Amino acid sequence: MSELDEIVNLIKNKYKNLDLKGLHAHIGSQIFEPKSFEDEIEILVRELALVNERHGINLTELNMGGGLGVKYTEEDCPPSVQDIADMITGSMKAASEKYSMPLPTIYIEPGRSIISTSGVTLYTVGSSKKVPNATKYVAVDGGMADNPRPAMYQAKYTAEVANDIKNREFEKVTIAGRYCESGDIIIENINLPKLYPDDILCVYNTGAYNYSMASNYNRVEKPAMVLVNNSQSDMIVNRESLEDLIALECVPDRL
């Protein structure tokens, strides 16, 4: 008996308050290869058919999970949502015919792709340090607290300078954060116009996970968030203040 059979039996015989509607799977984040979804659909529809055959239950819903890939760097080439939708509907029809099953209601969990590329982070450049025979470090006024992904699992990003950079030479640098940790690196070895203090560095594709993962590491205030649309800009998260940071702290009466 498969694990799925065991679960179906449990729902049928023990947890009768549960209404088994369909199957859900999640094959991972940053899926760039539509064929992965095709393979997933083939397996899931086969399982729908097996549940029907062995248990007489007609499952009508199929949740394929996520997560659609987004472009963090030039190497990332995500297929368009339209291409993925066409592939999913085509594969679903083919698999349903193959296993003589009615088409289920399809759900997907697009995850970060809904919002990720609509966000950028603007850092102000601070000091630089050239390490002999190694990279040049350029420090910015943020880092692993507003974006822990590079420090946690070496996530890659790309960046550009947002202010006027006419006639500047390019050089390879590593963008370091302000949090006093050796892992506090935002981008390693990126080719950028020579950076000077107060330049604005724009790091792309930070609309998903960054704010939700942000922390007050080393007691630093979280940055503000601004919505920019059709030449209008509005504050949607205020910059944190020192007062906000200590708002929950209290001094015992006896002191």
Ligand X SMILES: Cc1ncc(COP(=O)(O)O)c(C=O)c1O
Write out the catalytic residue numbers.
180
Angle, CA of 179, 222 and 246, to the nearest 5°: 95
Question: Does residue 148 belong to the site contacting ligand X (CB under 6 A)?
Answer: no
Residue indicated by tokens 């892992």:
183
Question: Does residue 111 belong to the site contacting ligand X (CB under 6 A)?
Answer: yes
Question: Does residue 76 belong to the site contacting ligand X (CB under 6 A)?
Answer: no
Question: Does residue 117 belong to the site contacting ligand X (CB under 6 A)?
Answer: no
In the complex with ligand X, the residue whose CB is nearer, 65 or 150, is: 65
Question: Does residue 158 belong to the site contacting ligand X (CB under 6 A)?
Answer: no
Select the span of 64-72, 74-82, 188-196, 198-206 touching ligand X (CB under 6 A).
64-72
Give me the DSSP letters along 47-80: HHHHHHHHH-----EEE----B---SSTT--PPP
Q: Considering only residues 221 through 240, tell me which ones interact with ligand X, judged by CB under 6 A.
A: none
Question: Does residue 178 belong to the site contacting ligand X (CB under 6 A)?
Answer: no
Q: Which residues are within 8 A (CB) of 102 and not within 5 positions of it... i.e. 6 or more apart?
A: 58, 60, 96
Q: Which helix (H) or strand (E) holds 107?
A: strand 105-107
Among 18, 26, 53, 97, binds ligand X (CB under 6 A): 26
Residue indicated by tokens 């690196």:
185
Quote the least distance from Cβ 111 to ligand X, whole Å. Answer: 2
The 3-state DSSP class for residue 214 equals coil
d(CA 10, CA 1): 13
Question: Does residue 78 belong to the site contacting ligand X (CB under 6 A)?
Answer: no
Select the span of 108-116, 179-187, 217-225, 241-249 touching ligand X (CB under 6 A).
108-116
How many other CB atoms sit within 10 Å of the CB of residue 91?
Answer: 19
**Size of site (CB under 6 A) for ligand X:** 8
Quote the least distance from Cβ 169 to ligand X, whole Å. Answer: 38
Q: Which residues are within 8 A (CB) of 194 and not within 5 positions of it... i.e. 6 or more apart?
A: 168, 169, 170, 171
In the complex with ligand X, the residue whose CB is nearer, 26 or 172, is: 26
Q: Which residues in this chain contact ligand X in the complex, by CB under 6 A?
A: 26, 29, 65-67, 109, 111-112
